[in-house]
Amino acid sequence: MVRIIENLNLSEQVTNDLGRAIVAGEYSCESGLPTEAQLCEEYGISRTAVREAVKMLAAKGLISSRPRQGISVEQPSNWNLYDTSVLSWLLDSSPSLHVLKEFLQMRLAIEPQAAALAAEFARDEDIDQIEKAVEAMRIAATDPSASMHDADLAFHTSVLFASRNRFFFQLRDFIRTALNVSIQHTTPAKANDVAVAEDHAKICLAIRNRQPERAKNLMTHLIDEAMSFIEAEIKRRS
C-alpha cells in the first residue's frame, strides 16, 4: 500500500504517500480527503499515525482539518513550494520541462542579486569556498571521473551563503532541485565544460574584487544561457 522508504517512520511514510497523491491531483479541493477512520482502514494503520501525517501535511499548507467537516485540500496557491518535500512531490507529478522554466525564471531573480550581495558583504572565507568550487569545476571539466554537477552545486550554494542573507541561503534546496532537473534535460556533452568553468571563475573573481554589478551581470548571463537552451528545447518539442 505505502511505498516503504528507508529511514522513514510510519507517519512520515504516510505523509509522503498522501502528499504525493495530493500534489498529483488525486484529491482535489472539492473532493477533500477521506476521513481519518477511512485512511486508517486504507493504510491498515492506527489513527495515531494517520493524525500525525495529517498534522505534518497541514504544517506544509497542503490540507486543513476541522471537526465534522473532515480533511480538506488547500488551494495549490497555499502549498509551501519552498518546502523540500512539497517541491519533490511537485516534480514527481509535473512535466519537468515546464517547471524547469519556472525554476530558471526564479534563479534569474535570485542568483544575480545573491552574487551582487556576495561582492558587497561576503567574508574572505566565504569567497575561499566559492573559489574551491571553481577549482573543482575546472578539474571536473577535464577529468571524467570527477562530478561537474557536484562542483556546480557547490558553487551556487556557496554564492548564496556568501550573500550573508538568510533568505537567499534558505533557497539552496530550491536551487539544488533546479540544478537536478536541469541536468535531466542537458545532453551530457562535456565539450564546452571548460568554458563553463571559466564563466564561473569570472563570477568568483568579480566577487573577490568587490564588483557587485559585474558579478550580477555575469551571473545573469550564466543563467540566461541555460534559459535560452531550455526555450529552444520547449519549442523543439511542441
Residues in contact with a copy of itself by the rule CB under 8 A = 11, 15, 48, 51-52, 55-60, 76-77, 79-83, 102-103, 105-106, 108-110, 112-114, 117, 163, 165-170, 174
Q: Which three cell numbers stand for residue 193?
A: 565544460
As measured in angstroms, the least distance from the Cβ of 175 to DNA is 29
Residue 165: helix, strand or coil by DSSP? Answer: coil
| Rounded Cα gap, residues 98 and 124, in angstroms | 38
65 near DNA (CB under 7 A): yes
Question: Which residue lies nearer to a copy of itself by CB, 58 or 146?
Answer: 58
- Residue 236 CB burial class (10 angstroms; 0-12, 13-18, ≥19): exposed
10 near DNA (CB under 7 A): yes
Candidate residues 69, 77, 145, 238; the one interacting with DNA per rule CB under 7 A: 69
Question: Which residue lies nearer to DNA by CB, 66 or 236?
Answer: 66
| Rounded Cα gap, residues 92 and 200, in angstroms | 30
Give me the half-sphere count of Cα atoms (radius 13 Å) on the Cβ side of residue 154. 20
| Rounded Cα gap, residues 73 and 60, in angstroms | 12
Candidate residues 2, 20, 21, 51; the one interacting with DNA per rule CB under 7 A: 51
Interface ranges with DNA (CB under 7 A):
9-11, 35-37, 45-49, 51-52, 54, 65-71
